[in-house]
Amino acid sequence: MTTKNIIILTGAGISAESGIKTFRDAGGLWEDHPVEQVATPEGYAADPALVQRFYNLRRAALKDVKPNAAHIALATLQSEMIARGGDVMIVTQNVDDLHARGGAQNVVHMHGELKRVFCTACDHHMDCDDDISVETTCPACKTIGTTRPDIVWFGEIPYHMDAIERAIKTCDLFVSIGTSGAVYPAAGFVQIASHYGAKTLELNLEPSQGSYHFDETRLGKAGSIVPAWVEEILA
Ligand code: OAD
């Protein structure tokens, strides 16, 4: 069977060689902050200014990193497959913008994006390149102090779940890249894909927690094994 529809799920490992620390490598701390403090609605309610500062710094740090060979290879795969009448959906758990800067189109950010914010008063979502603070005014409803990072925190529901699950049920190949398989619902996508008849492949530095669910696992750094796999698929 020729592969026509591919779903790619990426995690922090794909951006590691660009210089962005993975979550598990950071030992439960993100830039010296416990996860509960900076990645939960409760942490934000307790100290919004600290949480906004934390994401302001991470947003600003995007200016110092570049897409690596893995991001670029996936963008090439996507445009080539589309030109051949197929499709490649890139679903990422990452909040950086390296897939888009590597040339990918329509990246599905299931955990939100550093360069987006929203207003908790009127739910207006918007692009954001600069810092926000407790004094930021929402451009839509004019409320002050209700603009927060558009990041899916622990306890919140990931974005685009219906579209992702629909696509997984009809893909021929599901590929997971650079994710530990520790966080649901993303960690369960492989089982849905298998159940609906797709082949499944994992590309990671080490076997993920759900590695045994995959038909095949290839181990190595994303910057090397992803371009090699893409070359194989397009050959
Ligand atoms: P993790 O930090 O849990 O896992 C990163 C994975 O990438 C590990 O399995 C590493 O072995 C692998 N890895 C590291 N360097 C690599 C490289 N150069 N090439 C290939 N693989 C490499 O990150 P995620 O699985 O993305 O959620 O974490 C999932 C979610 O947990 C995140 O989206 C975040 C976090 O809490 C939210 O922010 C809601």
Cα-Cα-Cα-Cα dihedral of 138, 143, 145, 151, to 10°? -50
1: confidence class by pLDDT, cuts 50, 70, 90 = low
Q: Does the Cβ of 126 fall within 6 Å of ligand 1? A: no
CATH superfamily of 22-64+118-151: SIR2/SIRT2 'Small Domain' (3.30.1600.10)
Written as one letter, the residue type at 183 is V
Instruction: Report pLDDT digits (tens) over 68-103.
Output: 999 999 999 999 999 999 999 999 999 999 999 999
Equal CATH topology for 5-20+67-111+156-234 and 22-64+118-151? no
Instruction: Report pLDDT digits (tens) over 106-146.
Output: 999 999 999 999 999 999 999 999 999 999 999 999 999 99
Q: What is the pLDDT of residue 29?
A: 63
Q: What is the pLDDT of residue 32?
A: 77
26: confidence class by pLDDT, cuts 50, 70, 90 = low
What is the position in ligand 1's atom list of the atom closest to the CA of 70? 19
33: confidence class by pLDDT, cuts 50, 70, 90 = confident
Instruction: Report pLDDT digits (tens) over 5-24.
Output: 999 999 999 999 999 988 87
Q: Report how far ligand 1's centroid is from the alpha carbon of 139 (Å).
A: 34
Domain boundaries, the chain: 5-20+67-111+156-234, 22-64+118-151
Instruction: Report pLDDT digits (tens) over 138-194.
Output: 999 999 999 999 999 999 999 999 999 999 999 999 999 999 999 999 999 999 999
Q: Which two tokens stand for residue 230?
A: 């893409």
Q: Does the Cβ of 18 fall within 6 Å of ligand 1? A: no
Name the E strands within 23-134. Answer: 29-30, 33-34, 87-92, 108-109, 112-119, 125-127
CA distance linking residue 168 with residue 162, whole number of Å: 10
> What residues contact 228, with CB distance under 8 A and at least 6 apart?
none
CA distance linking residue 60 with residue 229, whole number of Å: 32
Which of 17, 36, 93 for a ligand 1 pocket mutation test, highest count of atoms within 8 Å of Cβ?
93
Q: Which residues are catalytic?
A: 111
Q: Report how far ligand 1's centroid is from the alpha carbon of 85 (Å).
A: 31
Q: What is the pLDDT of residue 128?
A: 97
Q: Does the Cβ of 22 fall within 6 Å of ligand 1? A: yes
pLDDT surpassing 60 at residue 234: yes
Using CA atoms, how far residue 167 sits from 9, 54, 111, 193, 198, in Å, is: 12, 34, 17, 9, 11
Instruction: Report pLDDT digits (tens) over 36-60.
Output: 899 999 999 999 999 999 999 999 9
| CATH code linked to domain 5-20+67-111+156-234 | 3.40.50.1220
pTM over 0.75: yes
Q: Does the Cβ of 176 fall within 6 Å of ligand 1? A: no
Q: Does the Cβ of 226 fall within 6 Å of ligand 1? A: no
CB-CB contact of 63 with 119 (8 Å): no
What is the CA angle 199-72-9, rounded to 5? 35
Q: Does the Cβ of 16 fall within 6 Å of ligand 1? A: yes
Phi/psi for 166 (5° steps) reads: -60, -45
Nearest CA to ligand 1 atom 13: 13
Query: Which of 60, 66, 58 shows the shortest CA–CA distance to 111?
Result: 58
